[in-house]
């Protein structure tokens, strides 16, 4: 069943105007039209904000290039994604990191299951049309049925299905991220080198540090962690997506990643106290990666757990909700 089929029942209740199948699918699928766009990405960190300009190139079905620009218009970062592979060029470091896109999206929860979770845990409402970057756009608002967690608004180009704007608010209703296309060119002629990783100037690609997945509770025990940390489901619709060992310290650092269709909840476990802001996160310009496991992107709860270990939960939920979830990891 498509995402649209799963969400139509919720949409009929949440919105006065019906939500078409094509509009719902366009919100989460790659467009079928090639384009070049200028984009402004803004993130809010408490009372502070940071805006970054990007140039985006897309060649269907699965070739993306994001160029991050500084205030002078110089390229500081290039993210090239072709199919399941991604290459990231950091201009200042003059190096290229190569990684598997699946490392960004998680592990066991398939895209179809993720869409089902979205339908179960979020309602969808249609918004009044507006014009963005000179294009007629239709808007969808996704809200958590539990009233715990973030809300997301997506504006879609009516003609092509290209997402023109994404806006995310946290559980308190404060805006935390927005990406908005400011100029759009359809069906441009691309130089093949744009999507060729060999054309990136930064030396031979360096494989990203391994983040091995522990596939079962038994594998968790073999890695030196109590079996009690293997919790397949949590409240607020979260389902275990992947349990990984992170390349942070000489001792073991565990990361359990949960998803509920739209947002991410992360549990980190260590034998030593953890500074949440030092936890390594995967940065990407992939638009589908929302609410990353970063202390800058959600509430943080630190607590003692599991035989003299230290745990940190990070998620865009209230402090009360995080405390409730922490009780699942004694």
Percent of the chain with pLDDT over 70: 82
Residue-averaged pLDDT of the chain:
82
**Which comes out higher in pLDDT, residue 168 or 289?**
168
Q: pLDDT tens-digit profile of 264-321?
A: 888 988 888 877 766 655 444 444 433 344 444 568 899 998 778 899 998 888 889 9
Q: What is the pLDDT of residue 307?
A: 73
**Which comes out higher in pLDDT, residue 178 or 111?**
178
Average pLDDT over residues 63-79: 93
How crowded is residue 197: how many other Cβ atoms within 10 Å of its Cβ?
16
Q: What is the pLDDT of residue 12?
A: 36
Average pLDDT over residues 169-185: 89
CATH topology of domain 3-207: outer membrane lipoprotein receptor (LolB), chain A (2.50.20)
Asked if residue 118 lies in contact with residue 9, where contact means CB atoms within 8 angstroms, the answer is no
pLDDT band at 11 (very low <50, low <70, confident <90, very high): very low
Q: What is the pLDDT of residue 295?
A: 45
Output the six-digit token pair for 242: 């992947």
Asked if residue 18 has pLDDT above 70, the reply is no
Q: What is the pLDDT of residue 14?
A: 39
Asked if residue 1 has pLDDT above 60, the reply is no
Burial of 13-28, coded b for 16+ CB within 10 Å and e otherwise, reads ebbeeebeeebbbbbb
Most confident of 111-125, 138-152, 237-251: 138-152
**Which comes out higher in pLDDT, residue 9 or 20?**
20
Average pLDDT over residues 200-210: 82
Most confident of 39-53, 206-220, 224-238, 269-283: 224-238
The residue extents of the domains of the chain are 3-207, 217-326
Asked if residue 157 has pLDDT above 60, the reply is yes
pLDDT band at 64 (very low <50, low <70, confident <90, very high): very high
Asked if residue 138 has pLDDT above 90, the reply is yes
Q: pLDDT tens-digit profile of 178-195?
A: 999 999 999 999 999 999
Average pLDDT over residues 59-77: 93
- Distance CA(209)–CA(228), nearest Å, equals 27
pLDDT band at 245 (very low <50, low <70, confident <90, very high): confident
Token pair 């500081």 in the structure block, residue: 76
Output the six-digit token pair for 164: 């023109």
Instruction: Average the pLDDT over each of 132-136, 247-251, 313-317 and give the range with the smallest value.
Output: 247-251
Percent of the chain with pLDDT over 90: 43
Look at domain 217-326 and name its CATH class: alpha beta
């Amino acid at each position: 069943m498509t995402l649209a089929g799963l969400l139509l029942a919720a949409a009929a209740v949440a919105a006065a105007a019906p939500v078409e199948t094509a509009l719902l699918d366009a919100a989460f699928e790659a467009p079928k039209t090639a384009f070049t766009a200028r984009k402004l990405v803004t993130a809010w960190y408490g009372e502070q904000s940071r805006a970054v300009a990007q140039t985006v190139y897309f060649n269907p079905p699965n070739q993306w290039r994001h160029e991050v620009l500084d205030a002078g218009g110089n390229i500081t970062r290039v993210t090239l994604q072709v199919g399941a592979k991604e290459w990231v060029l950091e201009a200042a470091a003059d190096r290229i990191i190569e990684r598997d896109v699946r490392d960004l999206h998680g592990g066991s929860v398939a895209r179809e299951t993720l869409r089902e979770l979205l339908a179960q845990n979020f309602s969808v409402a249609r918004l009044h049309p507006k014009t963005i970057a000179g294009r007629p756009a239709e808007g969808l608002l996704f809200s958590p049925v539990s009233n715990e967690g973030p809300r997301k608004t997506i504006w879609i180009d009516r003609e092509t299905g290209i997402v023109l704007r994404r806006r995310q608010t946290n559980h308190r209703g404060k805006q935390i991220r927005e990406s908005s296309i400011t100029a759009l060119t359809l069906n441009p002629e691309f130089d093949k080198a744009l999507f060729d990783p060999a054309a990136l100037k930064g030396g031979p690609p360096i494989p990203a540090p391994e983040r091995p997945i522990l596939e079962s509770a038994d594998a968790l025990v073999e890695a030196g962690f109590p079996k009690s940390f293997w919790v397949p489901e949590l409240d607020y619709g979260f389902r275990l997506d992947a349990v990984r060992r992170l390349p942070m310290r000489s001792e073991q650092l565990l990361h359990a990643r949960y998803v509920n269709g739209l947002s991410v909840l992360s549990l980190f476990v260590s034998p030593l106290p953890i500074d949440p802001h030092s936890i390594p996160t995967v940065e990407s310009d992939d638009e589908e990666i929302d609410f990353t496991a970063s202390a800058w992107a959600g509430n943080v709860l630190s607590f003692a757990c599991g035989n003299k270990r230290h745990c940190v939960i990070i998620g865009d939920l209230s402090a009360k909700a995080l405390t409730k979830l922490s009780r699942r990891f004694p």
